[in-house]
Structure 1
Amino acid sequence: MGSTLTLSSTKVSSPPLPRCESMSKAPKCSEAYSEDVLPEFTPMPWSIAEVRAAIPERLFVRQTSKGLAYLARDAILAIIVWKLGLRIDPLFRSFKATAGFWAPSLEFLRWLTWGVYWWFQGLIFTGLWVIGHECGHGAFSENKLLCDVIGYIIHTWLWTPYFSWRISHHRHHRNHASMEKDEVYVPKTRSELGIPEEGKHAIDYEEYFGDTPIYTLYMLLRQQLLAFPAYLLWNVSGQKNYPKWTNHFDPSSVLFTKEQRNLVLASNAGILAMIWGVRYLCMKWGSAEVFKLYGIPWFMVTHWFIMITYLHHTDPKLPHYRNGEWSFSRGAAATVDRDFLGWMGRFFLHDVAHYHVIHHFFPKMPFYHGPEATEYLKAYIGEQYHFSDKPAFKALWDNYNDCQFVEDKGDILFYRNKKGQASYRPSSSYGKSNQESATPQ
C-alpha cells in the first residue's frame, strides 16, 4: 500500500458516526441505540517505520533559518500589538476630554478595543508558545543547544517550566492513547466515576451526568483557564497511577529521573525569575496595566493551549488501548486534525491544530512541513487518519458532553457519552475479550 503515491486535496474522513454522535442533536437516540450496529474499528497494522517510509525524507529536514524567521515574525507582531495596546487608554482619555461622546458608549468602545487587543495578542503569544514547543521536540533546529535556549526563554516567559514540561510531554508522545502509560487526557473509567456495570437493571445515567448547561459551561470555563496550571501543580488530568501531589516542580517527583534533577531546578529558577519580574513591573507600571497588557493575553494562551490539546486527543471516534493492543503508531493515529479558527489558526498558531496527527507520528518534523507530509500520511493510512471540520467551540462543547468515560474491561476502548453510549466498537475480528463489556439499554 502506498507504493505509488498521488497527492490529493481530498479530505479523508473517518467512518460516519451513528445517529447518537451528539447528545444535543439526538436527544431520543437511546430508543434506537444498539451496540451491535455501531461502526466497527480495526487498529492500524503498520509500524512507525513503514509509515515513515511513505514520507519523503526532505520533509524531515529542519531549517534553522526558517525557524528563526517565524520566531522573529511572531516577536515583531507581539511588539507592534503591545505598542498599540499602550495607546488604548490615552487615546480614549483624549476622546473623553475633547469630543462630545456619551460617556457610557465611549467606555464600551474602550473595552471593546481592549478585547480586540487581548484576542490578537493572545493568539500571537500562543504562536510563540508553539515555537517553544517546537524547540522542546528538537524540531526548531538541528542545534540542540539553540533549541533549548530559545525554548527555555519563550516557555519561561509564558509561565511554562520548559525542561520539566518537555520531559513529561515527551513521555506523552511515547505513550499516547495507552491507558496505563500516557501522561495527559487519560480517560476516566466507569468504576472511577462510581457507575455500576450494565446488567439486568437499567442505569439512570441522569443521576451521574444530569448537569445543567450552566454548570457544564462553568466546568468548561474552569478547564480552559485553570487546567494547565492544575496539571503542572497537581497532575490534574494526568496519569492516575502516579502518587498524590505529583507535580512538575519537585525534582524528586516520579516524573523525573535523578539525572534530570538539575533540569527541573533550572526550570524552577526561570519561573521564580518571572515571579520577580512581574512583581517589579507591577510596582513600576501598576498591576492593572500589567494585567491588561500581559496577564489577560497569557490567560488566552492557557485557554487556546488547553482547547487545542483537548480537541486533539478527545473525540468519540478516537480509541484508547490497554495491554498488548497499544503500539506507538496506533497511539499516534489516535489523534485528530481540526480546522481550528480558520486562517487565524493557520497564521498565528502555525497550523498546530490543523496538522497534529503527523506531529504525533514524527515529533521532530518541523511544523512548516506539516501540510505536505499530512497528504502523504493520509494517502498511506487512509481511514485511520482522523480529521474534523466541526467549528472549534462546537466541538469543544460536544466532546465535553460526549466523552465521559471508558469501560474498565477491554483492550480497545472508546469514549461513552452521558447516556453510556459509544460511537464505535472494536472489530468483531478482535474477539469478545477485546471488546467493551457494556451494552447500555
Structure 2
Amino acid sequence: MGAPVRVSTQPTAQLKGDQEQSLPEYMPMPWTLKEIKAAIPAHLFVRDTPRAFLYLIRDLLMAAVVWKLGLQIDAAFMRPDIMSALTPSGAEVTRWLAWLAYWWVQGLIFTGIWVIGHECGHGAFSGHKWVNDIIGFTTHTFLWTPYFSWRISHHRHHSNHASMERDEVYVPKTRGDLGIPKESEAHHLDYDEYFGDTPIYTMYMLIRQQLLAFPAYLLFNVSGQKDYPKWTNHFDPNSILFTKEQRNVVIVSNLGMATMAYLVREACAQYGAASVAKLYGIPWLCVSHWFIMITYLHHTDPELPHYRKAEWNFQRGAAATVDRDFLGWWGRFFLHDVAHFHVIHHFFPKMPWYHGEEATQYLKKFIGDHYAYSDKPVFKALWHNYNECQFVEDEGDILFYRNRKGQAVRRPAQKLSPCPQETL
C-alpha cells in the first residue's frame, strides 16, 4: 500500500489565504487618458472616408462572388459527369464539403461586414455622422442587428468597461449571485457542489453561448447589467437602455429589422427555405458565433481586472481587455483586425481600424505591462477561459475571476496608486 493520505485540519479560509498571498500582485494604471493619447501620433486618429469605403466595397464584392459560387454548388455536384467521376456517394460528400467551405468563407466575410457596421457605430468609418449611420444601419440590419439600439448600449459599454456597477455586458457573476458561501464562513467548502459539470455539459453550454448569446443579449439582456429590470431588451423604445430622446432611433432600428424579416420571408417563398438557410442563414449563424467568441475572449480572462467604485476610471477599464491572434491571417484579412488590436480600440473607439496595428505599438510602449496580449489558440482559450472565469468576490474594489475551485491567478497590490479621475 502507498503512504497514507494526510487530511488537512486547516480551515478552508486559512488555506486559501496562504495561497492568495503567493499570487502575483496587480497595480492598476496611474496615467490619465490625456497622457496616454499624447503618446500616440495625431495622424493615427484621422479618419479617411474613401479608404474606409474601399474596405467595404472589397467585402461586398467578395460576398457577391462567394454567393455566386454558392449558387452553383448543388447543381454542379448533381451533374451526371461529376457523379460518374466521383460516384454518387463521393459527389454527395464533396457537395457538403463545398458547402462547409462556403459557410466558413462567407461567414467570415459577413462578419467583416458586421465589423465595418460596428466601426460606423463608433464614428470610426467617416468623419461624417450621416455616412456612418447610413452604412452602419444598412450593414447591421442585413445581419440582424438593431443598429441604433445596439450602438447606444455599446457606447455605454465602452464608457464603463470593467465597471461592476455600470458596464453593459460581460459583467461577472459574484460569489453571492451563485449562492456560494464566503471562505471565512465555511470550514470546508466543496466547490464541486457548485461547478461539478461534466466536459460534455460544458461543451453544450459553450455551443449554446456561441450560437444564441447575441440574440439572447438583444432580446433578454443575458450577460448584461444585472441591476436592470427583468424585461430589459434592445427593442422596447421605453427600455432603461434608452433615453426619451433616443426613442425614435430605436423605432427606426425596429423598422429595419421588420423589413429584414419581410425580405427573408419573401426570399424563402420564392427560392425555398433550404436555399435561404444554406446561402444566408448559416453564414449569419457564423457571424453570431464569431462575434460572441471575439467579444467574449476580449473581455473575459483570469488575468483581467474588474473594478468597483473609486478604483475604476475609463483608461483602467480600457486596459482590461486583451488582444488576441484570432485565426491568424484569416482574422486579420476578413475581420479587419478587430480581435488583433482591440485594446487600442477600447482606449480610442473613433480611431480607424486600419491604424490599429501602428497605434498599438505606441500604446504598448507607453503602458508596458498593462497591455494584455495572448497568442493562445483561440478555441483553446475559449475552453480555458470558460472554465477558469466563474465568478468574482462580493467585496473588494479590484477583482479577478476565480475558477471552479475558487482560485484566482492575480491579486490587487496591498498599496494602490491613486486613481486619476478624468472626464471624457
- Normalised to the residue count of structure 1, the TM-score between the two structures is 0.90
Give the corresponding residue for 1:20. none
**Number of equivalenced pairs:** 402
After superposition, where does 1:67-82 map in structure 2 within 5 Å? 67-82=52-67
Alpha carbons of 1:95 and 1:308: their partners in 2 closer, same or farther (altered >3 Å)?
farther
Give the corresponding residue for 1:51. 36
Give the corresponding residue for 1:310. 296
Q: Is the 8 A contact 1:95 1:101 kept in 2?
A: no
Residue 348 (1) aligns with residue 329 (2): no
The AA in structure 2 aligned to 1:269 is L
Distance 1:350 1:87 in 2: 28
Give the corresponding residue for 2:4. none
Alpha carbons of 1:365 and 1:97: their partners in 2 closer, same or farther (altered >3 Å)?
closer
Distance 1:121 1:38 in 2: 44
Distance 2:81 2:248 in 1: 54
Distance 2:340 2:223 in 1: 24
After superposition, where does 1:363-382 map in structure 2 within 5 Å? 363-382=349-368
Give the corresponding residue for 2:157. 172
Distance 1:103 1:76 in 2: 33
Shift of 1:202: 1.8
Shift of 1:96: 6.5
Corresponding residue SS for 1:320: strand
Corresponding residue SS for 1:369: helix
Shift of 1:33: 7.7
Give the corresponding residue for 1:140. 125
Give the corresponding residue for 2:102. 117
Give the corresponding residue for 1:88. 73
Corresponding residue SS for 1:413: strand
Distance 1:278 1:96 in 2: 34
Give the corresponding residue for 2:114. 129
Shift of 1:295: 0.1
Shift of 1:236: 0.2
**Given the alignment, which residue of 274, 278, 282 partners 2:260?**
274
The AA in structure 1 aligned to 2:120 is C
Shift of 1:34: 1.0
Distance 1:257 1:31 in 2: 45
What is the percent sequence identity of the aligned residues? 68
Q: Is the 8 A contact 2:83 2:91 kept in 1?
A: no
Give the corresponding residue for 1:263. 249
Cα distance per residue 1:206-228 (max 9 Å; x no partner): 11101111100000000000000
Moved more, 196-205 or 57-66: 196-205
Moved more, 212-221 or 102-111: 102-111
Give the corresponding residue for 1:208. 194
Shift of 1:102: 2.9
**Given the alignment, which residue of 199, 204, 211 partners 1:218?**
204
Q: Is the 8 A contact 1:96 1:106 kept in 2?
A: no
After superposition, where does 1:401-440 map in structure 2 within 5 Å? 401-430=387-416
Gaps of 5+ in 2: 1-14, 418-424
Corresponding residue SS for 1:429: coil
Residue 284 (1) aligns with residue 264 (2): no
Shift of 1:100: 4.6
Cα distance per residue 1:284-309 (max 9 Å; x no partner): 00000000000000000000000000
Alpha carbons of 1:97 and 1:426: their partners in 2 closer, same or farther (altered >3 Å)?
closer
Cα distance per residue 1:142-176 (max 9 Å; x no partner): 01100000000000000000000000000000000
**Given the alignment, which residue of 61, 68, 74 partners 2:46?**
61
Distance 1:134 1:322 in 2: 29
The AA in structure 1 aligned to 2:216 is A
Residue 104 (1) aligns with residue 65 (2): no
Distance 1:190 1:365 in 2: 37
Shift of 1:108: 1.3
Shift of 1:56: 0.4
The AA in structure 1 aligned to 2:221 is N
Give the corresponding residue for 1:26. none
Give the corresponding residue for 1:385. 371
Q: Is the 8 A contact 1:96 1:103 kept in 2?
A: no
Give the corresponding residue for 1:328. 314
Residue 189 (1) aligns with residue 174 (2): yes
Shift of 1:31: 10
Shift of 1:97: 6.9
The AA in structure 2 aligned to 1:355 is F
Shift of 1:101: 3.1
Give the corresponding residue for 2:346. 360
Corresponding residue SS for 2:78: helix
RMSD, matched Cα: 1.4
Distance 2:276 2:18 in 1: 53
Q: Is the 8 A contact 2:78 2:91 kept in 1?
A: no
User: Which consecutive aligned stretches of 4+ in structure 1 deviate over 6 angstroms post-superposition?
Assistant: 30-33
Q: Is the 8 A contact 2:77 2:83 kept in 1?
A: no
Shift of 1:428: 1.4
Give the corresponding residue for 2:386. 400
Give the corresponding residue for 1:27. none
Cα distance per residue 1:394-414 (max 9 Å; x no partner): 000000000000000000000
- Normalised to the residue count of structure 2, the TM-score between the two structures is 0.93
Distance 2:163 2:16 in 1: 33
Shift of 1:341: 0.1
Distance 1:348 1:428 in 2: 44
Q: Is the 8 A contact 2:322 2:372 kept in 1?
A: yes
Alpha carbons of 1:55 and 1:109: their partners in 2 closer, same or farther (altered >3 Å)?
same
